[in-house]
Chains A and B, each alone.
Chain A
Amino acid sequence: EVQLVESGGGLVQPGGSLRLSCAASGFTFTNYWMSWVRQAPGKGLEWVANLKEDGSEKYYVDSVKGRFTISRDNAKNSLYLQMNSLRAEDTAVYYCARDPGGDCYACLDYWGQGTLVTVSP
């Protein structure tokens, strides 16, 4: 059974940093791109970033470029999102999702339960 479990969310002050993790199991992690998607309270979904199987390609939405870094540790079947210079508008539930990549771009077929990040003084 595919499982994605996010962790690392919490309350952080504006300008602060946070590192999110996503532990993957039930599939061959090295065969898949992985994505982060966020959802601000009461709002819609926003794709944030994704990362190729071997970490050689990564893409970001403009609003987080230069502040967020997506990475993975294939030995640990884990995906990460390092978030720096956080702003109030980054407040959201952050989901990690499996991304079939070249088989079906952005066809996010499995999602985690999400972790809440709150940026507030």
Chain B
Amino acid sequence: DVVMTQSPLSLPVTLGQPASISCRSSQSLVYSDGNTYLSWFQQRPGQSPRRLIYRVSNRDSGVPDRFSGSGSGTDFTLKISRVEAEDVGVYYCMQGTHWPRTFGQGTKLEIK
């Protein structure tokens, strides 16, 4: 199975400051069609997960533009340019290139 490794696992951030989450895969996530199927999800406390980013860098509608995704191959990053209180929660990366689909362990973002 492809192992998705996120870091850090805990991320205390001051309001208004940037935050960055790394996600590394044990194999390249480039699919045979040339696309890279790496998504990011946010799970706020007590809520279902919500997709933020798909195919590495495509932001979902309604997602604030302070969220951005980047990366390639095996190395990916989710960045928040200025953290707001509503960003508190756990963030997961997920790959859809290989079977079985796998998630990272999750990164818990909290306000310092």
Residues of A within 8 A of B (CB): 35, 37, 44-47, 50, 59-62, 95, 104-109, 111-114
Contact = CB atoms under 8 A, between A and B. Distances in A.
Given A45-B94, A61-B100, A95-B48, 5 more contacts: A44-B92, A50-B101, A60-B100, A106-B37, A107-B55
A107 B39 contact: yes
Interface of B: 1, 31, 35, 37, 39, 41, 43, 48-51, 54-55, 60, 90, 92, 94-97, 99-106
A111 B48 contact: yes
| B interface majority secondary structure | loop
B48 A47 contact: no
Contacts of A35: 101
Given A107-B37, A108-B39, A113-B48, A45 B103 contact: yes
B49 A95 contact: yes
Contacts of B102: 47
A27 to B, nearest CB: 15
A17 to B, nearest CB: 23
B41 to A, nearest CB: 7
Contacts of B105: 44
Contacts of A108: 39, 41, 49, 51, 94
A76 B31 CA distance: 33
Given A44-B103, A104-B96, A111 B37 contact: no
A46 B103 CA distance: 6
Nearest to A44: B106
A62 B100 contact: yes
A114 B50 CA distance: 13
Candidate in B50, B94, B101, B105 with the most chain A CB atoms within 10 angstroms = B101
